[in-house]
Structure 1
């Protein structure tokens, strides 16, 4: 069976999709399966000239927005690049970004399309202060979900929480499939270590939606309580300079290490003690599963798909977003009690191995893919 995994970002891009799909390809390497990957290179911008028409709404009523114009041009570019580069026939296409799915269906209308939605672009833009909730950009982006439902043979997402989020924007929310991201167990190996000072780590893009400002304020509170720690920030983004200034203003700059972008953080994540990310929104939060597989204690927020991974007090700790004192209290618990920290990390590791292994996800996907095998009735 010939499969195509249609991505938007290249495989080396950090994030849940790129941390899964290239490794998923290895699990399908056999005489029965042939899987290719396709994505839009970053250098391809402003090439497409295709007329864009959607079946379920008129996008041109939002067309004066620069955000909408950029989205439509990127869609045109994806179509242009696909037509230029694709010369192979497939039995099934699995898309992992709305633009990828819509472009593939436009070019290959007769090939079955599975569309997985991994995150909410509009929520990220709202939380990062780029667009306004209820504004024309928001209206445009949520309208895309119904268009995807219309174009796809099966619509899927990565968490129950995100499926519930999508429900108001599509016609058949009861038909959304849910398969969480999977992670190659071989890449995440807990390493015995003994840090005399607790080592906190977060791996994230540095944007307001990730709540790193709240984390810094919580860390300042920890310092005022007399607790020692080191906070490692792995990732980059437009908020970095602002966050570095905030760390200085709060008096925690000496306890905070900014690494910038790192391609394979899983290689040294096991040497830390506590993973913390106080996101304001997450569809799934792949990095929590990665940290769990590295056997770290988890501290996160009660938003999106994070509570589906963390059961408070069992395999991690949950707090409300933007509650810096609650976050400081949670961190204090795991900093001051190594035994409790170990219990949480071990429980997180057990759950992640069971639910988020790439082997399990690959087997679930194979069952779905086989329903679209040529000669099989849908």
Structure 2
């Protein structure tokens, strides 16, 4: 069976999709399966001229928005690149972003399409202050869900919470499937260690949606309470300078290390103690599964896919979003009690191995793909 995994970002781009899709090829390498990856290179800009076709709404109602205009041009570029580069047919296409899905269906209308929605671009833009809720851009982006439902043979997402989020925007929400991201167990090797000072780590893009301002306030409270710790922030983004200034103003800059972007944080994640990320929204939150597989104690917010991964007090701690004091209280529990911290981490590791392994995801994907095999 010839499969195409259609991505938007290159495979090395950090994020949920890149944590799983590039590692599928090894598992599908057999005479029975033939899998290839396809994406839009960053150098392709403003090449496409083809008029996009939407079946469920008129996109021109929104074209006055620069955000929408950029999105449409990127769609045109992906169409141009697809027609230029793909010559042979596939038995099945699995898209992991709306733009590849729409482009692939336009180029290969008779090829079955599975569309997985991994995250909400509109929520990210709203939380990062780029667009307004219910504004022109928001309405355009949520209209895409019904379009994806229309063109797809199977519409998927990565968590039950995100399936619920998509429900108002589609005709048949009950038909949305859920397969969580899977993670190659061989990439994660827990390392026995003892840090005299507890080491906190977070890995994310530095944008408001990730709630790092809340984390810094919580860490300032921990210092006020007399706790020693080091906070390691791995990632880059537009909020970095603001966050560094905030750490200085809160008096915790000496306890905080900003690393910038790192390609494979899982290689040294096992040497830390506590993973913490107070996101304001997460469709799944792949980095929590990665931290669990590294045998770290987890502290996160009770939102989206994070709350599906963490059972509060069993394999991690959950706190409300936007609450620095609650976050400080949770961190205080795991900082002050190494045994409790280890019990949470071990239980998180067990759950991640059982529920978020790449092997399990591959098995579920294979069963789904075989429903579309050529007769």
Q: TM-score, normalised by structure 1?
A: 0.99
What is the CA distance between 1:256 and its match in structure 2?
0.4
What is the CA distance between 1:25 and its match in structure 2?
1.1
2:200 is matched with: 200
Looking at structure 2, the residues matched to 186 and 32 of structure 1 have their Cα atoms a distance apart, in angstroms, of 24
Looking at structure 1, the residues matched to 24 and 198 of structure 2 have their Cα atoms a distance apart, in angstroms, of 34
Kindly report which structure 2 residues correspond to 1:52-71, keeping only aligned pairs within 5 A, or say none.
52-71=52-71
Q: Residues 132-171 of structure 1, C-alpha deviation per residue, up to 9 Å, x if partnerless?
A: 0000000000000000000000000000000000000000
Looking at structure 2, the residues matched to 125 and 320 of structure 1 have their Cα atoms a distance apart, in angstroms, of 21
SS state at 2:237 partner? coil
Q: TM-score, normalised by structure 2?
A: 1.00
Give unmatched runs, 5+ long, in structure 1.
none
What is the CA distance between 1:53 and its match in structure 2?
2.1
Kindly report which structure 2 residues correspond to 1:295-306, keeping only aligned pairs within 5 A, or say none.
295-306=295-306
SS state at 1:18 partner? coil
Q: Residues 188-236 of structure 1, C-alpha deviation per residue, up to 9 Å, x if partnerless?
A: 1100011000000000000000000000000000000000000000000
Looking at structure 2, the residues matched to 314 and 332 of structure 1 have their Cα atoms a distance apart, in angstroms, of 16
Looking at structure 1, the residues matched to 16 and 26 of structure 2 have their Cα atoms a distance apart, in angstroms, of 17
1:170 is matched with: 170
What is the CA distance between 1:88 and its match in structure 2?
1.6
Looking at structure 1, the residues matched to 111 and 53 of structure 2 have their Cα atoms a distance apart, in angstroms, of 20
Alignment: residue pair count: 375
Looking at structure 1, the residues matched to 113 and 131 of structure 2 have their Cα atoms a distance apart, in angstroms, of 30
1:266 is matched with: 266
Looking at structure 1, the residues matched to 45 and 179 of structure 2 have their Cα atoms a distance apart, in angstroms, of 32
Looking at structure 2, the residues matched to 35 and 333 of structure 1 have their Cα atoms a distance apart, in angstroms, of 46
2:281 is matched with: 281
Kindly report which structure 2 residues correspond to 1:135-174, keeping only aligned pairs within 5 A, or say none.
135-174=135-174
What is the CA distance between 1:89 and its match in structure 2?
1.1
Q: Residues 88-146 of structure 1, C-alpha deviation per residue, up to 9 Å, x if partnerless?
A: 21000000000010000000000000000000000000000000000000000000000
SS state at 2:56 partner? coil
1:235 is matched with: 235
What is the CA distance between 1:87 and its match in structure 2?
1.4
1:362 aligns with 2:362: yes
2:351 is matched with: 351
Q: Relative to structure 2, which stretch is displaced further, 201-210 or 17-26?
A: 17-26
What is the CA distance between 1:52 and its match in structure 2?
1.4
